[in-house]
Structure 1
Amino acid sequence: MSFTPVQKVNAYEIIVGQIEQAISDGTYGAGDRLPSERALMTDFGVSRATVREAMRVLQATGVIESRPGDPRGPVITAFSPRVLEKSMAKLAQLDSVSRVELLQFRLLLEGQASLLAATERTDDELAEIASRGEDIVDLADQPDVRFGERVNRFHQAIRRASHNQMLEICGNVVGGVMTEMIDRRLTSETDRSARVRTSARDARARRGDPRRARPRGRRDLDGEHLPLLRR
């Protein structure tokens, strides 16, 4: 028989876990107040410092809202897209998530965003997509301009035109991380101008129709992007 190593858990982490579980099972809902600091100290049998550390973590992750000096307990906050965005950003920057995994996820997001944008976009949003495509085309003659940021703005316009908040949030997080990666890698490209011209041609072909901005899948991964993201 093999045993699992015992992991040391701080008291405040146990408090955080129990409160999150109480919210998950419906004991507490948005707008409800947790017990006061003193009551939590009694309930959990811990010091004031431990309770405050747990509240700090819960507030930082968007679970509660607490005002200094308020004698009442912290308020459970309603779910916010900002909370998801912060969690996604942390996940995307973990060392355990590879660059290829990020790119694969982005291809899925951008593909679906493009399909939705093709039917849901307004005329103004289509004009914005075309304008962002023109920005990339301009890079063909300006290879020193930040390449990744221009490409990311093009795809941001498409995600906004999809009118799907989840696609926009997840895509913005992953796109932001990859923008930094690609720009760093481009600094070591032997022919940066050629790489920029390739993307400019692609943007020129796609800028008037969001469906054309849908990634081509494995061909994109192997041909255009993957060389920039290899470790």
Structure 2
Amino acid sequence: MFTPIKNVKVYEQVVDQIKKMVEIGELKKGDKLPSERELVSELNVSRSSIREALRSLEIIGLIECKRGEGNFIRKNFENNLFEPLHIIFMLEKSTSKDVMEVRQIIETESAALASKNIKNKDISILEDMLLKLKNCNDEKKSIDLDKKFHYKIAEMSNNFILLSIMNACSGLIDLNIKGVRDNIILSSDKKEELVKQHEKIFLALKNKDSSKAYSEMRKHMKFSNDNLLL
């Protein structure tokens, strides 16, 4: 199953072997790894090298450690990019405009994909969100509904990578949506326009009109960007 290791940077080679086993399907989501003692024996390396390898695999999000149970290949990878993207955002001193541009790329495409995959239950969920958004007078709840509306569309895209990126950017997107709405609620006309835009996106999705869903989401992103930069 494993190949003995006798070179420098031993822990990196342990990491590479486990990653390779995942790649070729020997290890699958949810599989339990051998114990540290078993890995030491099979790989012919020190326990410290095994522990360093396991820590590295946990940091990159490939495995998870369950206390008292052992180490497992992760089942859920949706939020694996969350921390790295936040660190990059802070280190690179990215702006709200950067986040808005990323949203435009992701969400226009997710709307187009969602229109092709939308089901009756999805239509009901979005319609309920929209109705609550139209009748909500509590801005904190409105922000939450707005966010859920956008994340639901990404979920409906049925594209795991797209949804993972959206989830990874969630903290940044949440702040972005709040920033947009903080400016918009100062004007009743703009607040009404914001609701209308969500309605148009919903109707395009309901009608399974891919190009319309794309264009309406793009208009919404432009409107949001314009108001974010006020």
AA partner of residue 62 (structure 2): V
- Could you tell me which runs of 5 or more consecutive residues in structure 2 were left unpaired when the two chains were aligned: 1-8
Q: How does 1:57-76 map to 2 (within 5 A)?
A: 57-66=56-65
- One-letter amino acid of the structure 2 residue matched with residue 87 of structure 1: N
TM-score, scaled to structure 2: 0.66
Note closer, same or farther for the CA distance 1:206–1:35 as it changes in structure 2 (3 Å cut): closer
2:98 partner SS:
helix
Output the aligned Cα RMSD: 3.9
| Superposition pairs of residues 2-17 of structure 1, within 5 angstroms | 17=12
How many angstroms apart in 1 are the aligned matches of 2:66 and 2:36?
14
Identical columns (%) = 15
What is the 5 A alignment of 1:1-80? 17-26=12-21, 29-30=26-27, 31=31, 33=34, 36=37, 39=40, 43=45, 48=48, 52=51, 54-66=53-65, 77=73, 80=75
How many residue pairs get matched? 206
Query: Bigger shift: 121-130 or 52-61?
Result: 52-61
1:172 equivalent to 2:154? Answer no
Counterpart selection for 1:127 from 124, 130, 135: 124
Task: Tell me how far 1:167 sits from its aligned partner.
Answer: 2.5
Partner-residue secondary structure (3-state), 1:171: helix
Is residue 14–residue 50 contact of structure 2 (8 Å, CA) maintained in 1?
A: no
Counterparts of 1:168-207 in structure 2, within 5 Å, are 168-184=163-179, 186-187=181-182, 191=186, 193-207=188-202
1:89, distance to aligned residue in structure 2 (A): 1.0
The alpha-carbon deviation at position 26 of structure 1 amounts to 4.6
- Counterparts in 2 of 1:213-228, with a 5 A limit? 213-214=213-214, 220-228=220-228
Does structure 2 conserve the Cα–Cα contact (< 8 Å) formed by 1:143 and 1:193? no
Cα deviation 1:101-126 (Å, max 9, x = unaligned): 33222222222222222222111212
Where does structure 1 lack aligned partners over 5 or more consecutive residues? 1-13
8 Å CA contact 1:109–1:171 kept in 2: the answer is: yes
Match of 1:5 in 2: none
Per-residue CA deviations over 1:197-219 (Å, capped at 9, x if unaligned) read: 22112112232231444355775
- Say which is worse superposed, 218-227 or 112-121, in terms of deviation: 218-227
Question: How big is the shift at 1:157?
Answer: 2.4
Normalised to the residue count of structure 1, the TM-score between the two structures is: 0.65
Q: Supply the distance in 2 between the matched residues of 1:185 and 1:116 (Cα, whole angstroms).
A: 25
The match for 2:83 is 90
